[in-house]
Each structure stands twice: as structure tokens, then as C-alpha cells.
Amino acid sequence: MISAEVFLTFILMLSIFLGFELINKVPATLHTPLMSGANAISGITVVGAISLAGNGQHDVANWLGAAAVALASINVVGGYMVTDRMLAMFKKKGS
Amino acid sequence: MENLIQYSYVVAAALFIYGLKQLGSPATARRGNGISAVAMLIAVVAALLDQGIVEYQYIAIGFVVGALIGGAAARLVEMTAMPEMVALFNGFGGMASLLVGWAALAPGAGTFTLVTIILSILIGGVTFTGSLVAYGKLSEKIGSGAVLFSGQQVVNSLIVLGILAGAVMFCLQPDNHIWLYLVVALSLVFGIMVVIPIGGADMPVVISLLNSYSGLAACAAGFAVNNNILIVAGSLVGASGIILTQIMCKAMNRSLSNVLFSGFGSGKTETSVVEGEIKPISAEDAYYILEAATNVAIIPGYGMAVAQAQHVVKELAELLEANGAEVNFGIHPVAGRMPGHMNVLLAEADVPYDQLLEMDDINPRMENVDVAIVIGANDVVNPAARENEGSPIYGMPVINVDKARTVFVLKRSMASGFAGIENPLFYKDNTRMLFGDAKESIGHLVREFS
């Protein structure tokens, strides 16, 4: 049986290589939306925060989790919205 | 149920990857962002279905507060203020990861978990305060110059040692919270210390790096709470930030460590005497030259953003095209305060993206350009980077505007650029200086045309 740690590290390694391949192809003109879009994705921490905010323990972890949900939600909602706002402005000549 | 949740994460990961792939072309980028948002929604819903969640009020409150703040910021922010907003958002992401790492600390955690907890606290904390300082510098709420003091390296080394010692002690005695607090505090201090010595013109590098950290912090938090989707999404962001950092460093011909550890221009070597004289030009005379031009290149810099001149620049470009000239924009990778900053501003002003050329595309065409108009850019068009081996920016790739037949430089005054380096471009025979606020000067040209 493979331990969970090895399994997670394996996923990490593959994702990093995949990330490099994906991002290398993004043209310079899209670097700002790429960055704010990536920022929204880094709000994925919200998933970890949710499990801690809702465990019903009413302890410190609970409060920390709730604060983390709020902060990560700023990232997620703000990040996707502002990226969409920017990308809507990019137009090809004549369109 | 548990399996359903895990499979949902697999779907979310696939959509994140596909969304990022779509982000690789301007034509599909908006859809890509939408796909990535759907992935996020799936991941969040899956997380809410978890059996461990017995009450929803804290989650709901947190989400509503965050969504309102984020939504309002996204709607209201000016495109010129995009760098500071991205910096601030990065900081929130880092803080969220710090809190998740902290909250994940439970009695009886194994060493591997403890190490990942301390990593998410460390990276998250550095990202948080580092981003706040970057935000302050970008929005000019604090001075944007490099802050250097004697003994800085010693202080930083002591902080690093303190963090290492605290981290080791935390792993040995996880129940003694003093070590945890020590690492939290020192990480926050370290975030400030690493960003203050970096000057405003190097911000594109810093903001890219902090972007990467916010992803890596999410990654570490993923290990701490044992969650695949955090690791996948976090490392995608981490990789993206690292690539942008590399591109920015390459565009400045500097190594990352040089950017991070030496305030630019602090170790000044030479100031060679520039020969020639400044030749000012009036807007009327500039108009006559532009009117006869058939090939015009516009090179914007941070000054265009400061003057909010992008809309009037677009007007001028349209008039020139109507007059029969070919108009292109040349964008240096580090023009502005974040990667791609100029492109977004010009897109906001409705300039089509296929008219925006990267440095390597515009340079070979420069000899055929009748008039190159430099708007609020300085170091990125400085020929000293090519010609003067003693210059601090020697070797940095620049846009060779001096090879155009005529160069107009729009500038407020003769003050040197951020790096404080003399620019021989201003003294060349084919250069004319159009002094004044960029927006007003271009507005003047536009009125001459119409």
C-alpha cells in the first residue's frame, strides 16, 4: 500500500510540470489576465477552509477556518470577475 | 459519498487544466476563465457535501463577506490600478493558506503533516505581508523606492535562523504553541523584509513571485489538510508565477537574486557623459512630421498609465491610420508595473490586440518606422543598454526606437527614469522632446489632426 504522502507528492510533481507546459504557451499580451486568473485559482484554499469552518467544534480552528473562507472568497469571486472584465476588452482588429 | 466528492475533485482538476489551456489565446481566453470558474464551483460544492461538515453558518458568513468585498473590488477597480489589486488579492490568498495551515493543527499529527503545516504558515505569511508592502508601493501609499539599511542582510539572516529554529521546535513539540506563534510572527516580519529593498520598477518581478507563492501556499495547505485539489490547483498557480518571474528577469537581464537582494541602482558604477543637446519640439511641428509619416510605432510605458493617456493614444492611432499610416504598438515585457500591464490598458481603450507587438517583433521593423512615439517610457528604450558597457542596464534587451527615422519622446521634464540612469536617446540627432503631460500633449496632436 502506497502511503498518502507519497501519493500526494506524486500529484504535486506532475502538476508542476503540467503547469510549466500550460503557462509557457500564454502570449505576453495575456499576462495580466493570466495572473489575476491564476490568483482566482489560488483561492482554491477555500476548499480546505470550508472543511475547517464547518466542523462544528466551536474552537479556534473553527474561527480560523471561517476567516480563511472569507479571505479566499475575496480571491475567488474578485479574481474571476476582474479577469472576465479584462478579457472582455480584448478584441481582434475589425471585430 | 466520499468517492463522489473525490471524483468531483478530479473533474474540477481537469477543468482547471483545460481552462488554463484556453487562456493561451486571446480568442478563447474568456471562455477559459469561465471554465476555470466552473471548476472552482464544482470543487466548492463537493467540499460542502463532506460529511464532516455539520454546520454551515460560519461558512456562509465567511463566503458572503468575501464575495461582497471581492465582487465590489473587481467591479470598481481602474485598469491602471490592476497591479496593486492583484498584489492585494495575492496577499489575501496567502493569509487564507496561513489560517488553513494553522487550523489544520490537531493533536497527534504526524511529522509530515507538521512540516506541511509549518510550510503553509511560512509561505502564506510571507505572501501576506510581502503583498501588502507591494500593494503600498504600487499604490504609492508608501514610498516606492528601495529601502536599504546597513546590517539588512544580518537582520534577514537572523530572521531566517529564527524561523528555522522555530519550525524545528514546532515539529518536536507541536503541543507547545509558543513555537507556532513564533513562526507565524517571524514569517509576517520576513514578508516585509524581503519586499522593502525592492524598488518600484522591479515590481513586475515581485508581483509575479508573490503570485507564485500564493499558489505554493495553497499547495502546502493542501498537504496539511490532505486534499488533492488544493495541491493540483496550487501547483498550477505556483508554476505560472515562476514562469512569469523568469520572463520578467530575462527582460531586465538580471538574475532573480539580483532583483531580490540589491535595490536597483544602489551599486551605481558609472555616469558616462552624454554628448549632444536636447531638441524640444512643439505639438504643431510634431503634427507636421506625423502627418507625413507612413509608418508609426508607439511605445508606451508606465507614464502612459500615470497620465491615464491610453484613450487619447487610441484616438491618435486611429487618426494616423485614417491618414494612411501603418500604426503598431511596441510593448516591452517590463513596461508598466506588472506583466502585460500595457496590453490591458490598451485593450481597455479598444486597441485591437493584434496591433500590439512584442519587443522581438517590433525591433526588426524599426528601421522602416518613420516616427516612433515614446509615451512615458524611459529605461526600456534606453540605447545605453546596447552601447554603453558601463551602464547599469547594459545588456538589458530594449526596444530600439533610436533606429527609427524620427523619435518623439513625450516626457514631463528632464528627470531621469526610475533607475536614475541617463538616457542618451534624448540627445540623439533624430530625437525630439515633446515636454508636458502625456495626455495633454497627445490631445493637442489629436486636435491638430481633426
CATH, residue B356: 3.40.50.1220
Has residue A25 been placed in a domain?
Answer: no
B295 and B402 assigned to the same domain: yes
Residue B268: the pLDDT is: 44
B262 and B290 assigned to the same domain: no
- List active site positions of B: 379
Q: Of B76, B105, B139, which one is at a domain's C-terminal end? A: B76
Cβ-proximal residues to B322 (8 Å cutoff; 6+ apart), any chain: none
B207 and B229 assigned to the same domain: yes
Backbone angles phi, psi at B329, to 5 degrees: -110, 135
B263 and B382 assigned to the same domain: no
Residue B273: the pLDDT is: 60
Domain that holds residue A58: 34-95
Q: Are B354 and B327 in contact (CB under 8 A)?
A: no
Residue B267: the pLDDT is: 43
Do A38 and B236 make contact, defined as CB atoms within 8 angstroms? Answer: yes
**Residue appearing with cell numbers 500615470:** B306
Has residue A93 been placed in a domain?
Answer: yes
Question: In this prediction, what percent of chain B has a pLDDT beyond 70?
Answer: 96
B243 and B170 assigned to the same domain: yes
B234 and B100 assigned to the same domain: yes
Tell me A30's DSSP state: G
Has residue A26 been placed in a domain?
Answer: no
Do A73 and B70 make contact, defined as CB atoms within 8 angstroms? Answer: yes
B272 pLDDT more than 80: no
Domain that holds residue B113: 83-267
Residue B293: the pLDDT is: 93
Residue B1: the pLDDT is: 77
Instruction: Tell me which residue in B112, B214, B356 faces A29 most closely, judged by beta carbons.
Output: B356
Neighbours of B165 (CB within 10 A): 14
Neighbours of B200 (CB within 10 A): 18
**Residue appearing with cell numbers 471548476:** B39
Has residue A80 been placed in a domain?
Answer: yes
Residue B266: the pLDDT is: 43
B32 closest CA partner among A27, A95, A84: A84
User: What number is the average pLDDT over the span B419-433?
Assistant: 84
Instruction: Tell me which residue in A12, A18, A78 faces B70 most closely, judged by beta carbons.
Output: A78
Q: Of B243, B267, B291, which one is at a domain's C-terminal end? A: B267
pLDDT in tens, B332-373: 998 988 899 999 999 999 999 999 999 999 999 999 999 999
Q: Which residues of A touch B81 (CB under 8 A)?
A: none
C-alpha cell at B375: 509615451
Do B96 and A75 make contact, defined as CB atoms within 8 angstroms? Answer: yes
B98 pLDDT more than 90: yes
pLDDT in tens, A35-93: 999 999 999 999 999 988 888 777 888 889 999 999 999 999 999 999 999 999 998 88
Considering its fold, how many domains does chain B have in total? 3
B72 and B96 assigned to the same domain: no
B106 and B71 assigned to the same domain: no
Has residue A87 been placed in a domain?
Answer: yes
Which chain B residue lies closest to A41 (C-alpha atoms)? B233
Has residue A86 been placed in a domain?
Answer: yes
Has residue B272 been placed in a domain?
Answer: no
User: What number is the average pLDDT over the span B232-239?
Assistant: 95
Which chain A residue lies closest to B45 (C-alpha atoms)? A47
Which chain B residue lies closest to A78 (C-alpha atoms)? B70
DSSP bridge pairs for B326: B295
Has residue A12 been placed in a domain?
Answer: no
B438 and B290 assigned to the same domain: yes
Q: Of B76, B98, B126, which one is at a domain's C-terminal end? A: B76
Do A95 and B244 make contact, defined as CB atoms within 8 angstroms? Answer: no
What is the value of ipTM here, to two decimals?
A: 0.95
Neighbours of B155 (CB within 10 A): 13
Has residue B274 been placed in a domain?
Answer: no
Has residue A70 been placed in a domain?
Answer: yes
Residue A95: the pLDDT is: 66
DSSP bridge pairs for B280: B433
Q: Three-state SS string across chain B, please?
A: CHHHHHHHHHHHHHHHHHHHHHCCCCCCHHHHHHHHHHHHHHHHHHHHCCCCCCCCHHHHHHHHHHHHHHHHHHHHCCHHHHHHHHHHHHHHHHHHHHHHHHHCCCCCCCHHHHHHHHHHHHHHHHHHHHHHHHHHHHCCCCCCCCCCCCCHHHHHHHHHHHHHHHHHHHHHCCCCHHHHHHHHHHHHHHHHHHHCCCCHHHHHHHHHHHHHHHHHHHHHHHHHCCCHHHHHHHHHHHHHHHHHHHHHHHHCCCCHHHHHHCCCCCCCCCCCCCCCCCCECCHHHHHHHHHHCCEEEEEECHHHHHCCCHHHHHHHHHHHHHCCCEEEEEECCCCCCCCCHHHHHHHHCCCCHHHEEEHHHHHHHHHHCCEEEEECCCHHHCCHHHHCCCCCCCCCCCCCHHHCCEEEEEECCCCCCCCCCCCHHHHCCCEEEEECCHHHHHHHHHHHHC
User: What CA–CA distance (Å, rounded) separates B238 from B257?
Assistant: 18
Do A42 and B74 make contact, defined as CB atoms within 8 angstroms? Answer: no
Smallest CA–CA distance, residue B433 to chain A, in Å, is: 29
User: What number is the average pLDDT over the span B205-227?
Assistant: 93
User: What number is the average pLDDT over the span B381-410?
Assistant: 90
Which chain A residue lies closest to B209 (C-alpha atoms)? A35
Q: Are B253 and B395 in contact (CB under 8 A)?
A: yes
Has residue B276 been placed in a domain?
Answer: no
B339 closest CA partner among A77, A43, A39: A39
Q: Are B336 and B295 in contact (CB under 8 A)?
A: no
User: What CA–CA distance (Å, rounded) separates B82 from B286?
Assistant: 32
Q: Which residues of B touch A41 (CB under 8 A)?
A: 16, 20, 36, 40, 215, 233, 236-237
Cβ-proximal residues to B45 (8 Å cutoff; 6+ apart), any chain: B8
Q: Are A42 and B214 in contact (CB under 8 A)?
A: yes
Considering its fold, how many domains does chain A have in total? 1
pLDDT in tens, B100-154: 999 998 888 889 999 999 999 999 999 999 999 999 998 888 877 778 788 888 8
B100 and B190 assigned to the same domain: yes
C-alpha cell at B435: 515636454
